[in-house]
Amino acid sequence: MAHELRHMLRDDDINHEEQVQILKLAEHFRQNRYYSRPFEGPQAVAVLFDKPSTRTRSSFSVGVAELGGYPLVIDKSGSQLGRGEPVSDTAHVLSRMTSAIVWRTFGQDLVEEMARNATCPVVNALTDSFHPCQVLADLQTIAMHRGGVDALAGQSIAYVGDAANNMANSYLLGGATAGMHVRIAGPNGYLPDPAIVADAQRIAQENGGSILVTTDPVEAVCDADCVFTDTWVSMGEEGEYAIRSKPFWPYQVNAQLMSYAKDDALFQHCLPAYRGKEVTAEVIDGSQSVVWDEAENRLHAQKALLTWLIAWQRDDTSLLGE
User: Is 134 annotated as catalytic?
Assistant: yes
Closest separation in Å from C-beta 14 to ligand NVA? 20
> Using CB atoms within 10 A of its CB, is residue 281 exposed (0-12), middle (13-18) or buried (19+)?
exposed
Pick out residues in 133-172 that bind ligand CP (CB under 6 A): 134
Provide the annotated binding site for carbamoyl phosphate: 53-56, 80, 104, 131-134, 270-271, 298
Residue 270 makes contact with ligand CP by CB under 6 A: yes
Residue 126 found at the interface with ligand CP (CB under 6 A): yes
Number of residues that bind ligand CP (CB under 6 A): 8
Q: Which of 52-60, 114-122, 146-154, 300-308 is the region at the interface with ligand CP (rule: CB under 6 A)?
A: 52-60
Would you say 124 or 166 has its CB closer to ligand NVA?
A: 166
Beta strands across the sheet bearing 122-124: 70-75, 44-49, 98-104, 122-124
Distance from C-alpha of 119 to C-alpha of 109, rounded to nearest angstrom? 18
Looking at the Cβ atoms of 131 and 181, the one nearer to ligand CP is 131
Give least dist CB 4 to ligand CP, A: 28
- Identify which of residues 45 and 319 has a Cβ nearer to ligand CP in the complex: 45
How are strands ordered across the β-sheet holding 156-160? 210-214, 181-185, 156-160, 226-229, 266-269
Using CA atoms, how far apart are residues 173 and 11, in angstroms rounded to an integer? 6
Calpha distance 117→247 (Å, rounded): 41
Which amino acid is residue 316, in one-letter code?
Answer: D
Q: Enumerate binding residues for ligand NVA (CB under 6 A).
A: 126, 165-167, 230-231, 234-235, 270
Tell me the C-alpha distance between 312 and 227, whole Å.
34
What is the distance between the alpha carbons of residues 148 and 37, in angstroms, rounded to a whole number? 24
Least distance to ligand CP from the beta carbon of 53, Å?
A: 3
Q: Tell me the residue type at 318.
A: S
Q: Is 222 a catalytic residue?
A: no
Between 35 and 232, name the residue whose CB sits nearer to ligand NVA: 232
Q: Which candidate in 270, 293, 302, 313 is catalytic? A: 270
How many angstroms separate the CA atoms of 111 and 103, rounded?
7
Q: Given candidates 62, 72, 110, 271, which one binds ligand CP under the rule CB under 6 A?
A: 271
Residue 166 site contact among ligand NVA, ligand CP, none (CB < 5 to 8 Å, cut-off depends on kind): ligand NVA
Residue 270 bears catalytic tag:
yes
Cβ of residue 294: shortest distance to ligand NVA, in angstroms? 11
Q: 54 is in the binding site of which of ligand CP, ligand NVA, none (Cβ under 5 to 8 A by kind)?
A: ligand CP
Burial class, 262, CB count within 10 angstroms (exposed 0-12 / middle 13-18 / buried 19+): middle
How many Å apart are CA 134 and CA 234, to the nearest integer? Answer: 15
Among ligand NVA, ligand CP, none, partner that 149 touches (CB below 5 to 8 angstroms by kind): none
Q: Could you give the CA distance from residue 213 to residue 186 in angstroms, rounded to a whole number?
A: 8
Residues that bind ligand CP (CB under 6 A): 53-56, 126, 134, 270-271
Residues noted as catalytic: 104, 131, 134, 230, 270, 298
